[in-house]
Every structure is written in structure tokens, then in C-alpha cells.
Amino acid sequence: MEISRAKPDLSKKVHDVPHKPGVYLMRDRFNRVIYVGKARDLRKRVGSYFMPSKMAVADLKTRAMLEAVWDFETHTVNSEAESVLLEGKLIKEYRPRYNVSFRDDKRFLLVKVDETEDWPRFRLARFKKDDGARYFGPYAHAGALRQTLNFMRKKFGVLTFGRGSPTERELKSSTYQVPMKLSEINAEIYRQRVAQACEFLEGHSREMIAELEKQMREHATKMDFEKAAELRNMLDDLRRTTRPTRRFTRGSIPTTIDPEADLRALGDALQLHSLPRVMECFDISNISTTHVVASMVCFRDGVPDKNCYRRYRIRTVEGQDDFASMAEVVRRRYSRILLEAHAANPDAAEFSQESAADAISRLASCHADYSEVPFRPGPKPKDPAALPFGTATGSLGSARDDTCFVRLPDLIIVDGGKGQLSSACKELQRLGLHELAIIGLAKEHEEIYRPGRALPLRLPEDSGALRLLQRIRDEAHRFANTYHQLLMKKRIGESILDDCPGVSQNRKNLLLREFGSVKRLRQASVEEIAATEGIGRKLAEDVHRFLQTH
């Protein structure tokens, strides 16, 4: 696609935008989505961006975004609630650089009711699981949803939150006494209440809303404006919750992503023998030397396969060394695969005693947990010697079951340039996996480095192959940073006592509660430490000795 050199005048295009609710996508000169927003009135919202006064009063982020906007598109929806849902879906899809909200894994609320329970309860959930329960939603307005659940408790007498049969407090509560007390009905009669509440959530609420509107007008006529306002707010919440709302699935989201086409483009660009159906991408996160971590994300058929994601704490590298860290994580990932495949089928031709011993020693050198990578089903292996570069992947057979194989990727991607790629290649060669296709993706200029090629490959900015590589690289970066942030948060609650042998989390809490701080604990004698409840004499001596030497 040819890139436009002159920035178009988008103020004229605004006149074609309808006065309807919906979402808008801002695109840069390379047609990449850089911002997603929602609006009750698309014409007014989008038009406001291109008013001459907007640039003068905009903050730095908005000004930078407006300078980068080369085009926009809009998508209308039926209601404001739908615009919120679609906005969240699109931000998760495109991960635009100028959006902050919805870029993490936060999800909208659902209402879950498990009708197999004796006393089904209406509970809030974030994820829809295949567990036989009924789910309603998602709901864009969490506050309105909670008010609706309060209304359902009073109107239908159904239980919300909690689990199991009604508690003694719930049996006595006046909230659940409509039309008769919970203590006076059995589980079968209660199920009729649940059925009525489910119909209400499905949108069969016209008569009930009409009755509330009638009550609101009556209170207003009697000058009871406080009660009328309360009913008005309740009606607004009920309408928001029970109004039929489209559920935006992946197929219904406006998108330019075509995973299959992107896979074919990537296979052609890298001249692979077959499509890279399974790709694994590695990224290192070393914001500080306290916790250096790595991530491995897997894309299957061009989309994330989150069941195969893995994360690692770097153990053998001192300080910040991306090359050595990349070598460690590649070594651990594929040593374990070789080791488990050899353990399952020690007589397989793919594994010599030397390669198996090398995999075992290299994996043991990292003190890794052997349970990290499970076996995955895959096609039977082909003859590696008969395949050209990038196709000796397939699967490694398992003796447990004729249909169980360890799946090696069709393409390995490392986040980085020549250094990271070279470190990863050396580890693969030592493990006898030199035929695996592997590339390095340098972020600064999006250059693709390949083994044995001096010059990097540069793909067009609008190439589907490059966009696919960017998606998997960005996902690996997000996953690594999420793990890094998790460890940093945990570190806040840690102390030097976490490294003291014999001191569990419970004993650590006892000691800190007794002495107030590690500094005071270090000044205490063995007898004072041993006097703490739950701390014996021997452990007190160990703690005292540890604190004096650390």
C-alpha cells in the first residue's frame, strides 16, 4: 500500500459521520490504529478533534495523537452501553499506543447463576466458563448492575453472592421475604423465584418497568419528590441492565486482522517450507536487577494460545545481560522438551545418549521445575534430515501413547537483534535443534535478523507478516512485564527473613508482629526470640545467627 505523503484534510470527512452512538478509530500514516474512543454522538465527538481550537487547548498526549492522525473510521451501535463494550473489545484487539484503559486483562461483569445448586444464587463473574451455569451479560455499567441485583433481591426474593443454602441471617432478613419468608418455602418454590429473575435479566421486564414508572408519577403528584427521584434512578439502572445488548465476538468486531493471510505472508517473507502454524516468542524484562524475568508466548494459527504461555525467573545470570538471559530461557524451554520426550520414549531415534545427557545437564544447571511444560498433542514427526531450513519441527514421539507428541514450534522469535539471536542459536545447536526456524525482531526499526544472513530483512509497514510479528512480540512483552510487576509487588511484602532457612511465612509474621521490624529483631537475643510463641530454641538460634551474618 502506498503511503500518503501529504496529510489529508479530515474536517471534510467529519460531515459524513452520523449523529449516532458508536466507536471511532484513529489511524496513523501507516494505517495502524493508534486510538480507539466511544461517543454518544459520533459526529460531535469526532468533529471536536478537528476544530482549530482543539490543538491549542489539548494536553500533550492528545496533541501528539492529533499530529499523528492520518485517517479515522467510525462504527455505529444501538446504544451507549454497546459503545462501551465495543470500545473495550477493540482496544484489546489493537492495543493502540494512545489508549490506557482496557489495555490490560480487565473484563466487564457477568451475572452467573448455577441452576444445578439446591438454592441457586446470582453472583458476579468476570469470566464465562464452560461449567453448566447460566451467564447474563456482559454489562458495561457495573454500578447499574449492582443496583439491579439489589432490586432483584427485594422484588423476587432471590439470593445474591455467597454460596449454598440460606444462612440464618438471610432467613431472618426482611430483604428476602417477598412474597413469603425464605424460611417458609422449600428449594423447589425458591427455584420459581430464580426462574422469574432470569426472565427479568433476559429483558422480559416491560410490565415491571411500567409499574415503576406509574409509582414514580404517583409520588411526584403527591409532591414526594425524594421517592420519585429514587424510583427514577432505579428505572435508569434497570433499563441499562435489561436493555438487549449485542455481544461483540471476535467475528463481529470491525478488524483488518486476517490471521490466515498474515501467516501466508510471513511464510512467504521468510521463505519457510510450510506455514508457521505454531510460533513461540521470547522476551526478557529486566527493568531492574532485582527481578530479571522472561516470557514465552505461543501463537497457534496466527492467534494467541494462552494455555501454552510460560514465564521464567532468570537464575544463572548476574546483573542485566539480555544475551545471557535469552540463552538461559531458550535452553530451559527446549532442554525440558527434549528431556521429557526422551523420558517418554528413550529408544526414539531422535535422541542419542549424548543429546539426552546434555539436555539433562543443561536443564539441571538452571534448577528448573520439571512440571513447567506439559506434553501437547501434535502430528507425527517427519524425518528432520529430509527437510530444508525451517521445517524440522513437527513433534517428538512419546512411548506413552501413539497419539501423544511433544510439539516443537514451526518458528521461534526472539525479541532483539543479532546478539539475542546469536545467543539463542547457540543453545539450539548444542541441543541438536539447529534445524528449527528462528528469527530476531529488533524493535527500533522493526528489522528481522536471520541466522547466517548479514543484513536484516525489512518488511513494508503495512505488511500482514510484520503486523503478525508485532502482535506476538507485543504480547510477549506484555506478558513479561505483567510477571515482572507481580514479582515487584510481592517483593514489597518480603524481607530478609524470606531468605532465612526454616522461617515460613507464618513464622515470619509472628516474629515481625512480636518485634515490629527486622532491625529490632536483629538486636534481640536468642532467649528473646525463643520466647516468641511458635518459635523454638533451635530456630531462634538459626534466626539470630542468620541475622548477624546477613
Indicate the helix (H) or strand (E) that contains 277.
none
Residue 448, SS3 per DSSP: strand
Q: Give the three cell numbers for residue 414.
A: 526472539
As a whole number of angstroms, the distance between CA 319 and CA 331 comes to 19
- Mean pLDDT across the chain, nearest whole number? 77
Question: What's the pLDDT tens digit per position in 511-532?
Answer: 877 887 778 888 889 888 888 8
Cα separation of the two ends of the chain = 62
Residue 4, SS3 per DSSP: coil
pLDDT of residue 413: 96
Residue 432, SS3 per DSSP: coil
Q: Give the three cell numbers for residue 264.
A: 501466508
pLDDT of residue 393: 44
Cell 510477549 sits on residue:
476
Among 411, 189, 224, residue whose Cα is nearest residue 300: 411
Among 376, 394, 410, 382, residue whose Cα is nearest residue 263: 410
Question: What's the pLDDT tens digit per position in 411-428?
Answer: 999 998 899 999 999 999
The more confidently predicted of residues 212 and 396 is 212
As a whole number of angstroms, the distance between CA 151 and CA 167 comes to 20
CB 138 within 8 A of CB 107: yes
To 10 degrees, the CA torsion angle through 357, 363, 366, 371? -140
To 10 degrees, the CA torsion angle through 116, 122, 126, 128? 30
Least confident of 20-29, 142-151, 296-305: 142-151
Instruction: Give the CA distances from residue 237 to residues 86, 113, 148, 230, in Å, rounded to whole numbers and listed in that order.
Output: 20, 20, 6, 11
Question: What's the pLDDT tens digit per position in 294-344?
Answer: 999 999 999 999 899 999 988 888 777 889 999 999 999 999 888 877 777
Most confident of 58-67, 222-231, 297-306, 365-374: 297-306
Range 306-344 burial, b when 16+ CB lie within 10 A, else e: eebbbbbebeebeeebbbbbbbbbbbbbbbbbbbbbbeb
Q: Would you call 186 exposed, middle or buried from its count of C-beta atoms within 10 A (0-12, 13-18, 19+)?
A: exposed
CB 90 within 8 A of CB 253: yes
CB 485 within 8 A of CB 295: no
Q: Would you call 82 exposed, middle or buried from its count of C-beta atoms within 10 A (0-12, 13-18, 19+)?
A: buried
CB 122 within 8 A of CB 160: yes
CB 350 within 8 A of CB 341: yes
Residue 488, SS3 per DSSP: helix
pLDDT of residue 102: 55
Instruction: Give the CA distances from residue 170 to residues 64, 181, 337, in Å, rounded to whole numbers and listed in that order.
Output: 55, 10, 53
User: Taking 60 as the threshold, does the pLDDT of residue 111 lie above it?
Assistant: yes
Residue 23, SS3 per DSSP: strand
Domains annotated on the chain, with CATH: 13-94 (3.40.1440.10), 109-242 (no CATH), 259-486 (3.30.420.340), 496-549 (1.10.150.20)
Most confident of 173-182, 365-374, 463-472: 463-472
pLDDT of residue 263: 94
Residue 3, SS3 per DSSP: coil
Least confident of 132-141, 366-375, 445-454: 366-375
pLDDT of residue 323: 92
User: Taking 80 as the threshold, does the pLDDT of residue 398 lie above it?
Assistant: no
Measured in residues, the chain has a length of 550
pLDDT of residue 428: 93
CB atoms under 10 Å from CB of 458, counted, come to: 12
The pTM of the full predicted model, rounded to 2 decimals, is: 0.48
Least confident of 105-109, 117-121, 248-252: 248-252
Range 192-209 burial, b when 16+ CB lie within 10 A, else e: ebbebbbebbeeebeeee
Among 494, 484, 490, residue whose Cα is nearest residue 286: 484
User: Taking 70 as the threshold, does the pLDDT of residue 285 lie above it?
Assistant: yes
User: Taking 60 as the threshold, does the pLDDT of residue 508 lie above it?
Assistant: yes
CB 296 within 8 A of CB 329: yes
The more confidently predicted of residues 378 and 358 is 358
Please, which residues have CB within 8 angstroms of residue 7's CB and are 6 or more apart in sequence? 29, 70
For the chain, helix (H) and strand (E) counts, in that order, are: 18, 16
What confidence category does residue 125 fall into, taking pLDDT thresholds of 50, 70 and 90?
A: confident
Q: Give the three cell numbers for residue 29.
A: 500514516
Question: Got the DSSP string for 65-122?
Answer: HHHH--EEEEEE-SSHHHHHHHHHHHHHHH--TT--TT-SS---EEEEE-TTSSS--E
Instruction: Give the CA distances from residue 471 to residues 33, 102, 128, in Å, rounded to whole numbers and listed in that order.
Output: 13, 17, 25
Among 156, 171, 159, 175, residue whose Cα is nearest residue 120: 159
pLDDT of residue 106: 56
User: Taking 80 as the threshold, does the pLDDT of residue 142 lie above it?
Assistant: no
User: Taking 90 as the threshold, does the pLDDT of residue 241 lie above it?
Assistant: no
Question: What's the pLDDT tens digit per position in 431-465?
Answer: 888 889 999 998 777 899 999 888 899 998 778 89
Most confident of 76-90, 288-302, 384-398, 421-435: 421-435
The more confidently predicted of residues 462 and 101 is 462
pLDDT of residue 490: 62
